[in-house]
Structure 1
Amino acid sequence: MLTFIGLGLFDENDVSVKGLERIRRADHVFLECYTSVLTGTTIERMEEFFGKEVKTLGRDDVEGHPEDFLGLAKDSDVAFLTAGDPMVSTTHIDLRIRAAGMGVRTEIIHGASIVSAVCGLTGLQNYRFGKSCSLPFPYGKWAPKTPIEVIEHNMAENLHTLVYLDIQPDRYMRVPEAVALLEEMAAERGLSVPVYVGVARAGSAEPMVAAGTAGDLATVDFGGPLHILVVPADLHHMEREYLETFAGL
C-alpha cells in the first residue's frame, strides 16, 4: 500500500489526525522535498513527532527513479508525505498512475493546500481564479515567458492568477523579486498590472499579506519563506474591502 499524505502548510502540527495515525503505523516513511517544503519545521522535529524515521526524496527520486520505494509498497505499508495537499502537484498524479501500473494499491489523505489558504488570507474568491503558473529564477539569459502569458490570458477573462514562486535547495523566491520579474515581462508586452497581492508563511501563526502596486510591494519586507503571489483581476467590492482591511491595499 502506498498512501499519499498531505502535511498541510507550515509545520509538523498541520497534519490531520488520520494522516498522523497512518504515518505512525507505516513500515516506511518518505518525504518529498522538492515541489514544496514545510518551512516551520525540520526533519528531526518531524521524526520526533511522528515517531518514525523519515527518508527524504528529491526530484530524481520521484520523477526519474521511483521504482525503489514503489517496489516497497507492493509488500509493505509506505507513507509518501508531501507539503500541502498531495494531488495539487501533477508530479504526484503521475506517481499514482505509475504505482497503479505496478499493481500497487494507493490511497490519499488530503491536507490543507495553499490553493485554498490563499483565498482565506486574501479574500479573493476561489471561483474567480484561472490557470495558475510557476515563476522560476532566470538562468543566465533564459527566462520563460509563460507566466506573463498566463497572467495576460487570465486578465482578459477577468480571472485571478496564482503564481507559484521558485524554490531551490539554497534559496527561495521572494515576493518583491517575483514582482520585479513580472513587471519586466509585462513591460515587454505592453501589459499593465495594477495590483499584486503577496503572501508569506501561510499556515503559520504570523502570515504576512500585503497588496498594492509593484512600487508598493517593492518596499515591503515579507520575511521568511515560503512566499506566493497573486495577480488579481478586477476586484469585487468585497474582495477590495477585505484587501483594504487585512492587506493594506
Structure 2
Amino acid sequence: MLYLIGMGLHDERDLSLKAVEALRGCERVYLESYTSCFNGDINRLQEMLGKEVVLLDRKDLEENPEENVLAGGEVGLIVMGDPMVATTHSDLVLRAREKGAEVKVIHSSSVYSAIAETGLQIYKFGRTTTIAYPEGDYFPKSPYEALKENHMRGLHTLLLLDVKADEGRYMTVNEGIKYLLMMEESCLQNQFKKDSKCVGVARLGGDTAIRYGTAEEVIKEEFGGPPHILIVPGKMHYMEEEMLKAYEV
C-alpha cells in the first residue's frame, strides 16, 4: 500500500488525525521536499509519528521511486499541500498501479483553496501558471500568455513562483513582479505594467503576509520567508474590492 498524504500548507501540525494514524501504521515514511517549502521541524514530525522520516528530492522521486516509495510494503509519502495537485504525483500513482500496488490518497489544504483568504472569490480564477527562474536564454513567456488569456475573460490569475529546493532558492513575490514586468517589456501587450494591481502572498497557513497594491508598490514590500505566490486580479466584485482594502500598502 502506498499512502499519498497531504501535509497541508505550513508544518507538521497541519497533518490531519487520519493522516497521522495512517503514517504511524506505515513501515517507511518519506517527505517530498521539492515541490514546495516545509516550514516545520523534521524532528518534531518524527516524534509525532514515532518513526524516521526520510527526505526525498526530485531525482529520488521522479527517477528512482523503485528504490524508495515503490519498493513495496506499507509506505507513506508526505507531500506539502494536497498530494494530487502536482502532476509528478499523478505519475507516481500510475507507476504504483503498474506494479500492482494499492494507492490511498489522504487530502489536505492547498493553495488553491487558501487563496480565498485574500478576499478574491475562488470560482473567478482562470488558468494557473508558474513563473520560472530564467536560465541563460531560457525565459518562458507562458505566464504572460496565461495572464492575457485570463484578463480577456475577466478572471483572476494565480501565479505560482519557482521552487528550486535543491539550490535553496525560492522565488519571492518581488522577483515574480520583476519577471512579469520584463515579460511586458518584451511582449508589449499592456497586460502587466507598473500601475497594474496585484496581490503578493507569503506563507499561507502560517504567519501569513498579504499585500495589495500596484506592482510598483508591492515590489517594494518585504514578505519574509517562503513560499510566496503572486495574484493578478481580473474584474472584481465590490465585495472582493472591500476585502482587499485590508491588505492595501
Offset of residue 159 of structure 1: 1.2
Aligned residue identity for 1:180: K
Aligned residue identity for 1:213: T
Aligned residue identity for 2:174: P
Which residue, out of 103, 106, 124, partners 2:120? 124
Distance in 2 (alpha carbons) for counterparts of 1:63 and 1:158: 37
Offset of residue 147 of structure 1: 0.9
Name the residue aligned to 1:92. 89
Distance in 1 (alpha carbons) for counterparts of 2:38 and 2:169: 14
Contact 1:70–1:104 (CA under 8 A) maintained in structure 2: no
1:200 aligns with 2:202: yes
Name the residue aligned to 1:135. 131
Name the residue aligned to 2:52. 53
1:165 aligns with 2:168: no
1:214 aligns with 2:215: yes
Aligned residue identity for 2:203: R
Offset of residue 70 of structure 1: 4.3
Aligned residue identity for 1:209: I
Which residue, out of 171, 174, 182, partners 1:184? 182
Offset of residue 72 of structure 1: 2.9
What do the CA deviations read for 1:31-60 (whole angstroms, capped 9, x no partner)? 111111222x13222212222101111111
Distance in 1 (alpha carbons) for counterparts of 2:43 and 2:83: 22
Aligned residue identity for 1:241: E
SS at match of 2:223: coil
Contact 2:69–2:76 (CA under 8 A) maintained in structure 1: no
Name the residue aligned to 1:23. 23
SS at match of 1:196: strand
1:109 aligns with 2:109: no
Distance in 2 (alpha carbons) for counterparts of 1:49 and 1:38: 16
Contact 2:69–2:77 (CA under 8 A) maintained in structure 1: no
Contact 2:141–2:183 (CA under 8 A) maintained in structure 1: yes
Task: Report how many residues are paired.
Answer: 243
Offset of residue 67 of structure 1: 1.5
Q: Which has the higher helix share?
A: 1
Name the residue aligned to 2:11. 11
Distance in 1 (alpha carbons) for counterparts of 2:134 and 2:151: 24
SS at match of 1:188: helix
Which has the larger displacement, 49-58 or 173-182?
49-58
Aligned residue identity for 1:61: D
Offset of residue 115 of structure 1: 0.8
Distance in 2 (alpha carbons) for counterparts of 1:45 and 1:146: 40
Distance in 1 (alpha carbons) for counterparts of 2:179 and 2:98: 41
Aligned residue identity for 1:137: Y
Distance in 1 (alpha carbons) for counterparts of 2:157 and 2:24: 38
Contact 2:147–2:191 (CA under 8 A) maintained in structure 1: no
Distance in 2 (alpha carbons) for counterparts of 1:38 and 1:49: 16
SS at match of 1:81: strand
SS at match of 2:71: helix
Aligned residue identity for 1:183: L
Offset of residue 108 of structure 1: 0.4
Distance in 1 (alpha carbons) for counterparts of 2:191 and 2:70: 51
Given the two structures, how large is their TM-score scaled by the length of structure 1?
A: 0.94
Q: Return 5+ residue gaps in structure 2 as ranges.
A: none
Distance in 2 (alpha carbons) for counterparts of 1:162 and 1:71: 33
